[in-house]
Amino acid sequence: MKFINEFRDAELGKSLIARIRQRSTKPARLMEFCGSHTVSIAKSGLRQLLPPNITMLSGPGCPVCVTANADLDKAIALAELPDVIITTFGDMMKVPASRSSLQRVKAEGRDIRIVYSTLDAIEIARSNPKRPVIFIGVGFETTAPTVAASVLQAQQQGINNYYVLSLHKLCPPVVKALLDSVEVKIDGLICPGHVSAIIGSRPYEFIPRDYGIACVISGFEPLDILQCVDMLVAQVESGQPKVEIAYRRGVKPEGNRIALELMDKVFEVCDGNWRGIGVVPGSGLRLRKEYRRYDAEKNFGIKPGRPLEPKGCICGDVLRAVKTPLDCKLFRKVCNPEHPIGPCMVSSEGTCAAYFQYGEGYGR
């Protein structure tokens, strides 16, 4: 397959691994921020192919996983309102909130519909003018522009029954929060490819400058990631951290100007609540005052109750990279994709799901 096979070539992979082995003399702890990278690393067995002085850590880059239970409970409370139609991407359905999940409230008779894009949600609103249609907006800078576009579309087309629950998160502020916590020491960051396609490379410049940490933006195929690791190792070995783009076919330094303008027009920055990390200043997005009539939280009186965490689940620690799924007593024994206890086992991008599916640490 054109543009896929080139990035999965075994011989090229072997030569990249040989170069990394040759180049790498110092211990290097590299964190992949993004859940898609976590999956690709596990699926291709890259962790096992790298030299033992390189440690790969998984960060908080799965948007479903980092959505705090306090926010998931808001989605459930909205779903339980009379006449409401909830629209959501499918990966949110099984995520356990404090007392229920969207899947469970759907089974109890609530109207919850899986959509593939916000266009579907708008269409549902148009076809059901007498019922409020709420889109659950979960995701990073990658998703937020499309949600912003849906709000503008609703405004332009006079669709007055469309609402958004904005649980969007911004990546650079949470990286700063993690680095400030000094809980986890890293030497290099595999920066997210999709997010960077929107925001570009410049928002990461504080990381090498203020924290002395190497940064490379990576694509998602095995060779993309090996190339990224090779570039990170080169930076670590030279002691000259900077921001580099390995994913040139998807990312420009300035990002995607149209998407950024859309996002900025509709949303303003607010604090974001991250599972396992807490409230991070400036890491969330809420609808600007001019668009508050589309804001589900502002327009419906909901009282979701006190958030509860699943007993024994260490998703919060996994998302901060201070533990791995192998440290969780429930991993594989009680918690699996058929019976997930925490969100990191539900989402296809979750670290626990990736470890489970691709046998990371099997036999340990």
Q: Is 330 in the site for ligand SF4 (CB under 6 A)?
A: yes
Q: Is 68 in the site for ligand SF4 (CB under 6 A)?
A: no
Residue window 268-307: x/- pattern of binding to ligand SF4, with contact defined by CB under 6 A: ----------------------------------------
Nearest-approach distance from CB 104 to ligand SF4, in angstroms? 17
Given the rule CB under 6 A, which of 10-18, 119-127, 131-139, 327-335 is the region that contacts ligand SF4?
327-335
Looking at 62, 287, 313, 354, which residue binds ligand SF4 (CB under 6 A)? 313
Q: Is 69 in the site for ligand SF4 (CB under 6 A)?
A: no
Distance CA 338, CA 90 (A): 15
Looking at 335, 347, 354, 360, which residue binds ligand SF4 (CB under 6 A)? 335
Chain residue at closest Cβ approach to ligand SF4: 342
Q: Is 315 in the site for ligand SF4 (CB under 6 A)?
A: yes
Nearest-approach distance from CB 340 to ligand SF4, in angstroms? 6
Q: Which residues pair with 61 in a beta bridge?
A: 34
Looking at 208, 229, 325, 349, which residue binds ligand SF4 (CB under 6 A)? 325
Distance CA 206, CA 209 (A): 5
Q: Which residues pair with 246 in a beta bridge?
A: none
Q: Is 154 in the site for ligand SF4 (CB under 6 A)?
A: no
Looking at 79, 189, 352, 354, which residue binds ligand SF4 (CB under 6 A)? 352
Q: Is 60 in the site for ligand SF4 (CB under 6 A)?
A: no
**If we measure between CA atoms, which residue out of 42, 87, 136, 81 comes closest to residue 352?**
42
Query: What count of other Cβ atoms lies within 10 Å of the Cβ of residue 212?
Result: 11
Residue 61 vs residues 112, 308, 350: alpha-carbon distances, Å: 26, 22, 9
Q: Is 62 in the site for ligand SF4 (CB under 6 A)?
A: no
Query: What count of other Cβ atoms lies within 10 Å of the Cβ of residue 108?
Result: 10
Nearest-approach distance from CB 325 to ligand SF4, in angstroms? 5
Binding site for ligand SF4 (CB under 6 A): 313-315, 318, 325, 328, 330-331, 335, 341-342, 344-345, 352
